[in-house]
Amino acid sequence: MDRVLTQEEIDSVFRNLRDQAAEEDASRKATPYDFRRPDRIAKDQLRAIHLLHESFARSLSSSLSAYLRNYALVNLVSVEQLSFMEFSQCLPVPTCLVSLAMRPFDGSAVLELNPTLVFPILEMLLGGNGKSALRPDREVTEIEQSILESIFRIVLHDLRDAWSTVTEINFTMESFKTESQLLQVLAPNEAVVAVSLEVRIGESSGMMNIGMPSIIVKMLRQKFDQQWSMRKSESTAEERLRLLRLIRPANVQLDARLRGPSLLIEDLMNLNEDDVLTFDYSVQRQIDLLVNGKLKFRGTPAAVGRKKGFRIEAPVTVLE
């Protein structure tokens, strides 16, 4: 039957088509969401945690170098959010796992030290040089665990100092395990902030991993905002004071040099008794004082009793 549609019917058809298209577009944009995902910490807070543990890595490098009397370098590799199951699956077996209390908060963190670091450290603590090529593929004994407690105390001390800029957390050891399956401190799906650090001590290197409950870190969001909104100049001054305290015990080499003309080896070999060398260097002219091979001061030779000395008269601000 032939029938002419009214304008109202035509508008209704187009309106229905637009509604169907909008519904289809919304369904295509929707993506499944897994509520077990640990994405519960803001990115800016994660960046603040990254900066905090960079400071921890620098401090730990100095502490381990002094305690082990060997060159130690700690580098922050990554800071990410994982489930505790994913975190534990990334750890080697066997390994050294320590459960950490986080007072005054009700929760536990995990500290892991790779076997590639544990046995060289044990060798150094027992008087060796840590360069043994043999790396035992076994669990750490109870006696070795007690020896390693001093290393863990140093790590926790520096970790506590690093977190003190945000809030006071007293990290203490609760238990020691060799497999992550035996350390039931967190639920498998519980979110953790995983901090990975590369540790180099002498010729040995390995990873140290820290897992902290995300819920505790999230509770500190406001304190993170207060800390990292402080003026940059204040933090720089604190950093300079900290570095100054670290380098105070360091030794430097001082050389007072009289820089004169050069001489051929042939002419030097032909020198005889009573020969006179002319340096063309005025006695009134200052000589250079080098600190670790770099020109820092100028002054004149001096005598202190029967000993020779050097009197500093002017600093050198521009390296020549």
**Selection from 111, 107, 120 nearest residue 154 by Cα:** 111
What are 44's two structure tokens?
A: 């800016």
Q: What is the pLDDT of residue 209?
A: 92
Contact (Cβ atoms closer than 8 angstroms) between residue 168 and residue 45: no
pLDDT digits (tens, 9 = 90+) for 39-63: 567 777 788 888 889 989 999 998 8
Please give the order of strands across the beta sheet that includes 254-257. 254-257, 287-291, 294-304, 307-315
Please give the order of strands across the beta sheet that includes 72-83. 72-83, 191-201, 204-213, 108-113, 96-103, 170-177
pLDDT digits (tens, 9 = 90+) for 191-201: 888 899 999 98
Rounded-to-integer distance, Cα 95 and Cα 140, Å: 8
Question: Which residues, 6+ apart, have CB-to-CB distance to 177 below 8 Å?
Answer: 97, 98, 99, 183
pLDDT digits (tens, 9 = 90+) for 106-128: 888 889 988 888 888 888 888 87
Question: Which residues, 6+ apart, have CB-to-CB distance to 143 below 8 Å?
Answer: none
Q: What is the pLDDT of residue 32?
A: 63
Average pLDDT of the chain to the nearest whole number: 80
All domains of the chain in start order, with CATH: 43-247 (3.40.1550.10), 254-271+278-315 (2.30.330.10)
Question: What value does the mean pLDDT take over residues 17-24?
Answer: 61
pLDDT digits (tens, 9 = 90+) for 143-162: 888 888 889 999 999 999 98
Cβ-based neighbour number of residue 314 at 10 Å: 9
Residue 83 confidence (pLDDT) above 60? yes
* φ, ψ for residue 258, nearest 5 deg: -100, 105
Q: What is the pLDDT of residue 253?
A: 85
* Degrees, nearest 5: CA angle 260-264-268: 90
Rounded-to-integer distance, Cα 173 and Cα 87, Å: 19
Cβ-based neighbour number of residue 52 at 10 Å: 20
Q: What is the pLDDT of residue 19?
A: 64
- Top-confidence residue, 282 or 160: 160
pLDDT digits (tens, 9 = 90+) for 212-262: 888 888 887 777 666 655 544 455 677 778 888 888 888 888 888 777 777
Q: Kindly list the distances between the CA atom of residue 145 and the CA atoms of 61, 121, 262, in Å, as whole numbers in the listed order.
A: 22, 12, 61
| pTM listed for this prediction | 0.58
